[in-house]
Structure 1
Amino acid sequence: MSEHDHQQFRSTHVSRRRVLAGGVVVGAVAATGALFPGLSAALPAGGAAMLVGRGIGDSTGEPLGAGMNGYAVPAQSSAGLHLRQRARAFVFAQSPDGPRFAHVTVEIGLMFESIFQEVLRRLQARFPGVYHQGNVLLAATHTHSAPGGTDGHLLVDITTFGFRPATFESNVAGIVDAIERAHRDLAPSEVAMTRGQLDDAGVNRSPKAFDRDPAADKAPFPLKIDPNSVNLQITRGGKLVGVINWFATHGTSMPPTNLLSSSDNKGYAALRWERAAGVDYTSHASPALVTAFSQSTPGDVTPNLDRMPGTGPTDDAFANTRIIGERQYEAASRQVGVGARPIAGAIDVRWKYVDMSAVTVRSQYTGDGRTHHTTPAMLGAAFAASSQEDGGGMPELGLNEGERGGNPWVRKVNEVVVPDWLKREQAPKDILLPVGLVPGTVQQQLPFYLVRLGDTYLFACGFEPTVVAGLRLRRGLAATLGVPVEHVVVQGYTNSYGHYLTTPEEYENQDYEGGATVFGKWQLPAVQQIADELAVAMRSGKPVAPGRTDGDLTGKLPAAPVGNAFVDVAAPGTAYGQLLTPVADTVRRGGMARARFSGANPNNNLRRDDTYLTVERRDGDRWVRVADDSDWATKIYFDNAGPVTTTTITWDVPANTALGRYRVTYRGDSRTLDGRTTPFSGLSNEFTVTA
């Protein structure tokens, strides 16, 4: 079904509140060999192996009535499900009782301190002293079509009308499941880095800002994007069992008008590779392959190749999501084993929280020979204008990015009301929202990490760095650590969210990215200074003071008053699960099978590690599952009117589908006024797939 077709399923929806699980405060830092009996003997003598574990968890949020993170469009409220969101975890351990760290790629819009702290509490309860604030990295893929309402700070949750406990719980539980499964999967493995190039999965959305950068910074990027596709590949006995891929492109192939929950292009890439390897997401068995498509530094890169929302390389957003995802998958899979650089040796981490609202940036980092300062977070008018290439924001305000003329009237107001010290460090930003002056609105104490895996280094932060900002960080770290630039990876969207990170030159243009570089023109030099301090400490073997967090605000914001399930009523004259509209008797390959059922609010049970639907083929006397709601070819829509929900399931019949008899099943849970839920199921008519 096209994006246009599914608009008919829009309505006001409700979701169910859930009680959040608690935990204990994070404690010690080292793992113990007693947790992994026998693994020491399993390590190859003199080999290059380390212990690696892999795990996948289901983190899908509420598919009905939940505002989505990313576009800041209140009308973008979930009305169904296309691609489930998953967390993919890798645990790396130097030895059973040695240093370790967990890397998790989560298919959500943004990563927040609220999620991070709750994950840590639960891990500490399950694995005391093993996983903690200094060795767990949670990275968002930045899909703009995943249910939100999970921040502990006010600003982002405003667009989702408040906190959403059920989605928060699913995000956290899915991440913890993934890490637990990776923990159990720890085994001797070979780790290597590979590099490839991908030129046609993104374009620069702020080329005039990019053009302000020095020639030496632009030279590696003739197309104004970062073409590097970097794999961390894990093999066991010569067989590929895991990949973390870093590539820079936004999770905005699906536009702000999309109402189906989706993991966007990076989610498709992971699904494509894992399904080809036979991964069954409803099975708790260790998967044959885990592929995580993580973000690197995509701050100024859009996947919309025609530089308009939902366009390029076609005019169909669903097709574009698949194509851009397919290109990332192909680039990553092509480079497996090609020029692989083995990684072995020490695992080390340096990390700290920094108050980004008050960093004194030394002259050696500023580039102009003078000392400068960051300020409390300020959002510019260009932020509210949003990126016209991706959509979203508040166009009704009539605001513009710098390359489209800027905002003179905001500038005039700033001349009167903004203090000189703030104007000096934030100039030339037209300040619209002084969010850093209102406690609890945005996170300002932000964490930074430098992880060493042998001779490879990962720098992680909560910003959205542009491609040149990422290059400067890689170059600076490489120089301090004494390694080639290619041995350094920079990853944003990790353990927090602090908006954008531009170079001072790009900041001057005040496009969307500069308007959202909240701590001012000198924010990148401040981060370069922080990264250098972590690198010096790691190089010298010295500890780093951890700093302090903003404090845990989980659940302190009011729960969203909209989209909450309270009671279900079957469609008049029907029972739950009853077929309302049957599938056509005959459906051709390449056609669509569609069935409509009397349903219930799907938020009653998010069916993690399960499915709302199946497509089954008759095989003699039994029915064999050929697709479920984890597959690209299926979509499920929920049309909600008060307590009554009707459910439509579609299946785009693949061209290679076996001919024969098929049926569609639907699974749901109804809720009574006192909160009790009862499972039910629905079954379509049998239909024939023909050539």
Structure 2
Amino acid sequence: MYQAGWNKQEIGISPRGYAMHGFGQPGHRAYGQETPLYARSLVLKDAEGQAAIFCCLDLGYVTQAMRAGAVERLQQHLGEQFNEAGFVLTCTHTHSGPGGCSHDVLYNLVTPGFVPEHLEAVIVATVDSVVEAWQSAAPTELSLASARFDEAVPVAWNRSLNAWNRNPDVPRYREGENHKALERQMQVLRLSRAGQVQSLLSLFGVHATCLSNSLDRHDGDNKGYAAAQAEQQLMASGASGAVAIFAQGTAGDVSPHYHGPQALKRRQQLTGRAEYVYAAENGRHQSQLALSIVAAPDQQQIIGAIDSVLTYVDFSSVHADPAMANGETQAWTSDPCHGVSFFAGTPVDGLGVAPPLAAVMRAGARMLRRWRMSPLSRLSPSERQYYQHLYAVQGPKDILMESGRKQALGLPLMQLSLPDAVDPLVAELKRQARIGAVNESALVPTVLPLQIIILGQLALVCCPGEFTTTAGRRLLDTVMKRLAPRGIEQVLICTYCNDYMGYVTTNEEYQEQAYEGGHTIFGQWTLAAFQTRFAHLADELLKDDPLRTHDRKTRPVQPPAAELALRSNLSPRS
């Protein structure tokens, strides 16, 4: 039996016209609040005092700035009892929550810029919920069970079926069978006292995008509704202060909207208040399945020691194990690049730039690539070698933005040839570049957190960013093989953990260059690189802690304070 506690705290951010994070649309601004946004925390302690802390935010992303701020204050509150490696900070990925909470440039661009008040509110809610959960810990039974959504339940659809069908290790589906091309299994950790279910943690992957970018209110979307509904039911059944966390699994290619014939037409017919109703219905499907799982008598009791490992890896240059890269001996990652398909968005969940503009961008990217690889380009030997490597790693991606070098179509950001009037994000990026706000600051994170939590015979793989269904399954298979000698019986995945940098597709899915592949910024071997590094990290868990040699010190470099100040507290667009 573990000592466990749980708590939730509202994230105290008042909507003031800042753009919300998720859809990348400057016009998607918040002027009100439809539902409260929470930080929900669970704390587990074993007999030796080792702890695991799981905090889930009703936000679209987790950033290094959030995690670092929370870690610093939790160390102050909890002292030596706090183990950073055992602290998981994740989110529901609602696209109707506040942004401006990153020290990096790109994912703050739409807000516009960095909003210190938002970051502070997130850190306060996180720390308060964790500390209250820690202090309320009492003997609690922990168990795990799972169940599948019936195929008739309208909860999730694969939004990139052509990419899915490229994988050799999945069933092939036709248009209209998108609801089958995903992981329909939900896993739920149940926390009970004296036979009464008190709290739960659900893992199921589906985008929290029931609500469109035409709305103007903060909202927890489907995961937030699921949590509120489950908590209400648990308390009606006798639980005291129930906390229900609905976290994400492999949501990268999974939409809460119908995908199949006439999908876009059906989506366009769902507008206004009907979208909130739909989000609540989707959440109800999730909460009902979770509650049926925790009520089932067939539960796997989780017992044993708590353990954890955390390391940070620079993904701009990782060599993948050939065994995880289809035998390729030169499978590397590269500096981050965003493809045209990223800027084009997704056809149902969130369109990006207009198709004619995307076509112009694509033509420009291909022309630049041909020129750079041509003898006429007169690149220096080192530059030619750099771009040969970059294009080999990025494969078929039509690169619009070299996010590592901070160039767009080969030009410095401030010289980007697209007129400001074409896209407000282009205008904002050029403006920040002109005033010197991005000279030394990273556009996106490249030094990323990898984390594995052990709860008795269960392991939880905690990943940054968004993994597609098949990418996540392959990663779990890799880690399970490594941890089996320790007695691990099951490995689960939680995504959107500890930082955000985009997507992770399989190599085969990447070749499709749908939105997900265009947003897999480290290239076509990104998944193989994650498998390689997570395998190494899992191997460390086979050793006693004093014998582990993984890097525990590396952390992302903070941006210059002067540059951060230049892109802070910018006025919301009218």
TM-score by length of 2: 0.84
The letter for the 1-side match of 2:158 is: N
- In structure 2, the partner of 1:241 is 198
* Runs of 5+ consecutive residues of structure 2 not aligned to the other structure: 374-386, 407-440
Aligned twin of 2:103: 152
Matched, 1:519 2:525: no
Aligned twin of 1:9? none
Pairwise mapping of residues 454-465 of structure 1 onto structure 2 (< 5 A)?
454-465=456-467
- Residue in structure 2 matching 1:499, options 499, 502, 507: 502
Question: What is the number of equivalent residue pairs in this alignment?
Answer: 506
Q: Which among 423, 432, 436 is matched to residue 404 of structure 2?
A: 436
Report the counterpart of residue 388 of structure 1 in structure 2.
Answer: 347
**C-alpha distance 161-309 of structure 1, shift in aligned 2 (>3 A):** farther
Counterparts of residues 216-255 of structure 1 (less than 5 Å): 216=170, 223-255=180-212
Q: Which segment is superposed worse, 538-547 or 205-214?
A: 538-547
Counterpart of 1:348, as a letter, is D
1:171-182 → structure 2 map (5 Å cutoff): 171-182=122-133
C-alpha deviation, 1:396, in angstroms: 6.9
Distance 2:489 2:23 in 1: 33
| Residues 86-97 of structure 1 mapped to structure 2, 5 A cutoff | 86-95=38-47, 97=48
Equivalent residue, structure 2, for 1:42:
none
Q: Does 1:51 align with 2:3?
A: yes
In structure 1, distance between residues paired with 2:50 and 2:484:
22
Q: Structure 1 residue 264 and structure 2 residue 200: aligned?
A: no
Matching of residue 550 in structure 1 with residue 556 in structure 2 = yes
- Contact 1:310–1:320 (8 Å) recurs in 2: no
Say which of 294, 299, 311 aligns to 2:267.
Answer: 311
Q: 1:122 is matched by which residue type in structure 2? A: R
Q: SS of 1:91's equivalent?
A: strand
Residue 309 and residue 380 in structure 1: after superposition, are their counterparts in 2 closer, same or farther (change >3 A)? farther
Answer whether contact 2:457 2:489 (CA < 8 A) is retained.
no
Residue pair 1:343, 1:454 contacting (<8 A) in 2 also: yes
Contact 1:474 1:485 in 2 (8 A): no
Tell me the amino acid that sits aligned with residue 344 of structure 1.
I
Partner Cα separation in structure 2 for residue 386 and residue 310 of structure 1: 18
For residue 274 of structure 1, give the secondary structure of its aligned residue in structure 2: helix
Shift of 1:397: 6.3
Query: Of the two, which has the highest radius of gyration?
Result: 1
The secondary structure found in structure 1 opposite 2:18 is strand
Paired residues of 1:72 and 1:392 also in contact (CA < 8 A):
no
Letter in 1 for 2:521: V
| Whole-Å separation in 2 of the counterparts to 1:310 and 1:133 | 46
| Residue identity in the other structure for 2:306 | I
Residues 278, 234 of structure 1: CA spacing in aligned structure 2 closer, same or farther, 3 A cutoff? closer
Number of the residue aligned with 1:81:
33
Distance in 1 (CA, whole Å) between partners of 2:179 and 2:489 is 18
Change (3 A) 1:309 1:441: farther
Deviations 1:205-233 (A, max 9, x none): 100000000135769x9810110111011
Q: Is the 8 A contact 2:10 2:37 kept in 1?
A: yes
- The question of whether the paired residues in 2 share the 8 Å contact of 1:346 and 1:452 is answered with yes
Which position in structure 2 is the counterpart of 1:477?
479
**CA separation in 2, counterparts of 1:76 and 1:486?**
44
1:312–1:320 contact (8 Å) kept in structure 2: no
Verify: 1:350 aligned to 2:309, yes or no.
yes
Contact 2:156 2:179 in 1 (8 A): no
* 1:661-672 map, 5 Å: none
Tell me, in whole angstroms, the C-alpha distance in 1 between the residues paired with 2:369 and 2:400. Answer: 8
- 1:29-428 matches, within 5 Å, as 49-95=1-47, 97-198=48-149, 199=151, 200-216=154-170, 223-278=180-235, 287-306=240-259, 307-308=263-264, 311=267, 316-338=274-296, 339-395=298-354, 398-399=357-358, 407-417=362-372, 419-428=387-396
- Cα deviation for residue 172 of structure 1 reads 1.1
Tell me the distance in 2 between the aligned counterparts of 1:554 and 1:312: 43
Structure with more helix by fraction = 2
**CA distance 1:129–1:451, change in 2 (3 Å):** same
Shift of 1:68: 0.6
* Counterpart code for 1:469: A
User: C-alpha offsets along residues 219-261 of structure 1, whole Å, 9 cap, x if unaligned?
Assistant: 9x98101101110110011110110000010010000111110
Q: Residue 459 of structure 1 contacts residue 488 of structure 1 at CA under 8 Å; is this kept in 2?
A: yes
Q: Which moved more, 1:484-493 or 1:386-395?
A: 484-493
| Cα pair 2:395 2:523 within 8 Å, conserved | yes
CA distance in 2, matches of 1:375, 1:317: 40
5+ residue gaps, structure 1, are 1-48, 280-285, 565-640, 642-691
Q: Does 1:509 align with 2:515?
A: no
Q: CA RMSD in A?
A: 2.5
Shift of 1:313: 10
User: SS of the counterpart of 1:440?
Assistant: coil
- Measured at CA, do residues 554 and 115 of structure 1 come closer, stay the same or move farther in structure 2, by a change above 3 Å? farther
Alignment-mate amino acid for residue 378 of structure 1: C
List aligned pairs for 1:632-671, cutoff 5 A.
none
**CA–CA separation in structure 1 for the residues paired with 2:320 and 2:351:** 33
Deviation at 1:169, TM superposition (A): 1.6
Shift of residue 314 of structure 1? 5.7
Moved more, 548-557 or 475-484: 548-557
The 8 Å contact of residues 499 and 518 in structure 1, kept in 2 or not, is answered as yes
In the superposition, relative to structure 1, how do residues 105 and 287 fare at CA in structure 2: closer, same or farther (>3 Å)? farther
Q: What is the rounded CA distance, in whole Å, between the counterparts of 2:14 and 2:85 in structure 1?
A: 30
Distance change >3 Å, CA 313–CA 226, structure 1 → 2: farther
Q: Aligned equivalents of 1:151 and 1:80: distance in 2?
A: 22
Q: Which amino acid aligns with 1:168?
A: L
> What is the identity, as a one-letter code, of the residue corresponding to 1:446?
L
**1 CA distance for matches of 2:493 and 2:142?**
19
SS in 2 for 1:110: coil
TM-score, scaled relative to structure 1: 0.70
Distance in structure 2 (CA, Å) of the matches to 1:486 and 1:318: 39
| Per-residue CA distance 1:604-627 (angstroms, 9 max, x = gap) | xxxxxxxxxxxxxxxxxxxxxxxx
User: How far does residue 330 in structure 1 lie from its aligned partner after superposition?
Assistant: 0.8
Look up the SS of the partner of 1:357 in the other structure.
coil
Distance in 2, matches of 1:194 and 1:453, equals 14
Query: Which residue identity does 1:393 align to in structure 2?
Result: G
Letter in 1 for 2:533: I
Are 1:313 and 1:320, in contact at CA under 8 Å, matched by a contact in 2?
no
Quick one: structure 1 residues 451 and 312, their matched pair in 2 at CA, closer, same or farther if it must change by over 3 Å?
farther
* 8 Å contact from structure 2 (residues 85, 308) kept in 1: yes
d(CA) in 2 for partners of 1:249 and 1:503? 18
| Kept in 2: contact 1:255–1:309 (CA 8 A) | no
Residue pair 1:52, 1:189 contacting (<8 A) in 2 also: yes
Percent of aligned positions that are identical? 26
Q: SS at 1:335's partner residue?
A: helix
Alpha-carbon offset, residue 60 of structure 1: 4.2
